[in-house]
Amino acid sequence: MKKIILFADTGIDDSIALTYALKNPEVDLIGVVSGYGNIDREKAYRNVEYLLELAGRTDIPVIAGATRPLSGEEPEFFPEIHGIEGLGPIDPPIPEERYANRTNFSKLFNLIKDNRDEVIIVNVGRCTSLAIAHYLSPEVMEDVKETYVMGGAFIEPGNETEVAEANFFGDPIAANYVCQNVVNLTIVPLNVTRDALLSPSIVNLIDTRSDSPLEEIIKPILDFYYEVYQQLEPGIAGTPQHDLAALMAALDISGLYEYKKREVKVEYKGNFAYGKSIADFRPGSSNCFGPNCARIALKINHDVFVSNVLEILTNHK
């Protein structure tokens, strides 16, 4: 079993990743760090509490992450994409005292120390909380086994701007730090997560087989997300599961991805290219070696993706 700590800005696709993690018997979810991003930090924390409650897993610790990027600027949130509360049409009935004003970040270090060389971090929001963890305690973070990050866009366009993906654009200083300093790093960028589509018919199939409160929220939130994506990219065949795709990279799913290894930089000073992820894919470039070399997913097998998601979310082989 893989011991995973999920860092999320718990909007719609983050919630599908969390749901999958809770249902996959190969995943031992030992903690969730919830920070700002799609929504503010308090809502992200509350949404995790809600999903854990639906799953009957309130034993899993939730850790309050960052509230703004390292630049200190006010973050921009995305209610038009993830809904006002971050869960599409759902307003989670969690009382404020369970999520407001949390200051329990040291819990993260205790989880890593208690599971030395076993923890896999999967970061599917802005990189701020992850960079802060490395700044605060580099010696504890050395005990993390592997790190997976959903972010960036290589060779292809971005989604936040023409060139930048939302997670890296939201805090390019943190993203650049993580890409250049975190060892055993895998990046799952937009150019593959864009193809991790779940069509309405797959979502309906999941819904007809759902038999728990947690599974019952999948269809309403993904139907909302589908309507949003039809406005953004008319005719798109489903909803891109950016964060689920990144989580699945951390599991042993044969044939899901093809990777290349490159050194990665993120533009954090520029104007037009702010948040852009950069790696050398020129003809003749080759895999790099060494600690600062990230593995980048460049191709996803959609059939493998869908069949694994169906197996986990419908409890059927």
Catalytic residue annotation: 9, 242
Could you say which of 120, 144, 166, 198 contacts ligand RIB (CB under 6 A)?
A: 166
Closer CB to Ca ion, 30 or 190, in the complex: 190
Give least dist CB 12 to ligand RIB, A. Answer: 7
CA–CA separation, 45 and 31 (whole Å): 12
Task: Note whether 146 binds ligand RIB by CB under 6 A.
Answer: no
Closest CA to 124 of 268, 241, 287, 289: 241
Could you say which of 15, 19, 47, 159 contacts ligand RIB (CB under 6 A)?
A: 159
Q: Are 64 and 55 in contact (CB under 8 A)?
A: no
Q: Choose among ligand RIB, Ca ion, none what residue 129 binds, the Cβ cut-off being 5 to 8 Å by kind.
A: none
Closer CB to Ca ion, 6 or 70, in the complex: 6
Closest CA to 269 of 70, 123, 65: 70
Task: Note whether 171 binds ligand RIB by CB under 6 A.
Answer: no
Interaction site with Ca ion (CB under 5 A): 9, 14, 124-125, 243
Give least dist CB 145 to Ca ion, A. Answer: 22
Give least dist CB 97 to ligand RIB, A. Answer: 27
Paired with 296 in beta bridges are 187, 260
Could you say which of 75, 243, 268, 295 contacts ligand RIB (CB under 6 A)?
A: 243
Give least dist CB 9 to ligand RIB, A. Answer: 5
Residues near ligand RIB (CB under 6 A): 9, 11, 13-14, 37-38, 124-125, 150, 159, 165-167, 190, 242-243
